[in-house]
Amino acid sequence: MAPHVNVDASLHTMATFLHLLKHLPRTGWAARGLSTVESVASHSHGAAIWACWLAQRSNLKRSERIDQRDPIDQSDRGASAPTEGSPLQLEKVLKMALLHDLPEAVTGDLMPSQKESLFGPSKDAQREAIAAAEARFWETLLMPFAQKQGDTDKAIFEDWRALWAEYREGETPEAKIVKQADALDCVMQAIVYQELHERSLSDFARLIEKAAGDDPQLKEELQAYWRQSLTPKDLPF
CB 51 within 8 A of CB 99: no
Structural domain boundaries in the chain? 9-30+38-62+87-229
CB 208 within 8 A of CB 226: yes
Single out the residue of 56, 33, 23, 67 nearest to residue 197, CA to CA.
Answer: 33
Question: Which residues are 25's β-sheet partners?
Answer: 39
The dotted CATH code for 9-30+38-62+87-229 is 1.10.3210.10
CB 160 within 8 A of CB 94: no
* Count of residues in the chain: 237
Q: Report pLDDT for 69.
A: 74
For the segment 79-112, what is each residue's pLDDT rounded down to a tens digit? Answer: 444 456 899 999 999 999 999 999 999 999 999 9
**b/e map 166-205, b = 16+ CB within 10 Å:** bbeeeebbbbbbbbbbbbbbbbbbbbebbbeeeeebeebb
Q: Report pLDDT for 90.
A: 97
CB 150 within 8 A of CB 118: no
Q: Report pLDDT for 79.
A: 44
Does position 8 have pLDDT exceeding 50, yes or no? yes
81: left (phi over 0), alpha (psi -120 to 50) or beta: beta
For the segment 132-190, what is each residue's pLDDT rounded down to a tens digit? Answer: 999 999 998 888 777 676 688 888 999 999 999 999 999 999 999 999 999 999 999 99
Q: Report pLDDT for 12.
A: 86
C-alpha distances in Å from residue 92, one per residue of 45, 97, 172: 15, 9, 11
Confidence label for 78 from pLDDT (cuts 50, 70 and 90): very low
For the segment 187-237, what is each residue's pLDDT rounded down to a tens digit? Answer: 999 999 999 988 889 999 999 999 999 999 999 999 999 999 887 654 444
pLDDT: is 70 or 10 the higher one? 10
Q: Report pLDDT for 154.
A: 85
